[in-house]
């Protein structure tokens, strides 16, 4: 089986230090938390940025500072989010693309998101895909519901995304596709041949989904963006602790971890 790429989604846009004091906000905290996650076995960092009070940020200067600080400490693949936070404009969501990273996320459809709507109209998706393409960044397609896989395939046909595509199945968001082995199997069977895929189980689904995925040969995302708990009732002390638990599950099933160089090879990323 292919080596396992662990992505760590270190902060997201929704969770706060009130939910778990380990949620990083500042560029320094984000870099420190990313470094520890990489030491624990992560080879991709999925990155959002925050203002000092924890509210979601989009400013390119904050992305650039954070990416610079992470790179001073370690060399993971850094994936900026173009999902940002609910309510941001397309231009705001694309500011992270100016930070010189190798990857960026993009969602290929609209989905209810808790009590909100995470809006991705066809026009918005095409604009974001176009900007990612222009910058020669490798996209990761965030799949919150099954039809988004078909939308991504249509974008490949249109030439807005290039194959092979990397998919991220984010399962268990209230409003999106639920986290189950059946849904995971369906999605893994639905991606175009040659695609790579990764799974992020939300909340209590993080480790059950990781275990299924590790056995199926996919890749895994963990991190405080998606889940605040290490185990039932135990807050995760850090992003690294979540990565360590995913790495321990992989070890139990003899699945070796990909380091960042191996992850680049598996994803077809060549450095400029």
Compute the distance between CA of residue 46 and CA of residue 168 in angstroms, rounded to an integer: 11
Tell me whether residue 63 or residue 113 sits nearer to ligand KMH (CB atom).
113
83 binds ligand KMH per the rule CB under 6 A: yes
**Residues 52-91 vs Zn ion: string with x where CB under 5 A?**
-----------------------------x----------
- Taking contact as CB under 6 A, which single stretch among the options 77-85, 125-133, 233-241, 263-271 is the one that binds ligand KMH? 77-85
- For residue 1, the minimal CB distance to ligand KMH (Å) is 27
The count of chain residues that interact with ligand KMH, using the rule CB under 6 A, is 12
Rounded Cα–Cα distance for residues 251 and 271 (Å): 29
Does residue 107 touch ligand KMH according to CB under 6 A?
Answer: yes
Out of ligand KMH, Zn ion, none, what residue 85 binds, judged by CB under 5 to 8 A for its kind, is: ligand KMH
Within positions 117 to 156, which residues make up the interface with ligand KMH, using CB under 6 A?
Answer: 118, 142
User: What is d(CA 58, CA 99) in angstroms, rounded to the nearest whole number?
Assistant: 11
Q: Which residues does 137 contact at the CB level (< 8 Å), separation at least 6?
A: 97, 101, 102, 103, 104
In whole angstroms, give the CA distance from residue 257 to residue 272: 25
Q: Are strands 77-80 and 44-47 parallel, antiparallel or unpaired?
A: parallel
Q: Concatenate the DSSP letters of all residues of 173-190 into one string.
A: -BTB----HHHHHHHHHH
Q: Is 176 in the site for ligand KMH (CB under 6 A)?
A: no
* 49, 131, 143, 181, 205 from 138: Cα distances, Å: 20, 11, 16, 28, 27
d(CA 50, CA 226) in angstroms, rounded, equals 16
Task: For the CB of residue 118, give the shortest distance to Zn ion in the complex, in Å.
Answer: 10
- Pick the closer one to ligand KMH by CB: 105 or 238: 105
Q: How far is the CB of 270 from Zn ion (least distance, A)?
A: 25
Nearer to Zn ion, 33 or 81 (CB): 81
Q: Should residue 85 be labelled a site residue for ligand KMH when binding is judged by CB under 6 A?
A: yes
- CA angle at residue 23 from 75 to 7, to 5 degrees? 40
Strand partners, 127: none
Q: Binding ligand KMH by CB under 6 A: which of 4, 5, 10, 13?
A: 13
With CB under 5 to 8 Å by kind, the binding choice for 7 among ligand KMH, Zn ion, none is none
Q: How far is the CB of 83 from Zn ion (least distance, A)?
A: 5
Instruction: Point out which residues bind Zn ion (CB under 5 A).
Output: 81
């Amino acid at each position: 089986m292919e080596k396992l790429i662990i992505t760590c989604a270190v902060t997201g846009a929704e969770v706060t230090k009130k939910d778990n004091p380990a949620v990083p906000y500042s560029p320094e905290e984000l870099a420190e938390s990313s470094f520890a996650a990489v030491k624990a076995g992560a080879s991709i960092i999925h990155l959002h940025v925050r203002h000092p009070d924890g509210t979601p940020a989009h400013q390119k200067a904050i992305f650039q500072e954070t990416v610079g600080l992470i790179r001073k400490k370690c060399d993971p693949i850094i994936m900026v989010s173009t999902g940002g936070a609910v309510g941001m404009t397309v231009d705001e969501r694309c500011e992270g693309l100016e930070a010189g990273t190798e990857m960026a996320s993009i969602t290929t459809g609209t989905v209810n998101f808790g009590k909100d709507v995470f809006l991705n109209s066809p026009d918005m998706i095409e604009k974001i895909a176009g900007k990612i393409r222009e910058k020669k960044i490798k996209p990761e397609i965030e799949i919150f519901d099954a039809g988004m896989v078909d939308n991504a395939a249509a974008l490949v046909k249109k030439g807005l995304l290039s194959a092979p595509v990397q998919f991220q199945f984010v399962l268990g968001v209230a409003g999106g596709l639920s986290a189950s082995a059946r849904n995971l199997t369906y999605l893994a069977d639905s991606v175009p041949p040659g695609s790579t895929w990764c799974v992020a189980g939300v909340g209590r689904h993080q480790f059950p989904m990781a275990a299924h995925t590790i056995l199926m040969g996919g890749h895994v995302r963990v991190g405080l963006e998606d889940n605040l708990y290490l185990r039932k009732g135990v807050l995760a002390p850090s992003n690294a602790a979540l990565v360590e638990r995913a790495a321990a599950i992989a070890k139990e099933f003899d699945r070796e971890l990909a380091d960042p160089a191996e992850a680049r090879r598996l994803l077809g990323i060549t450095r400029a």
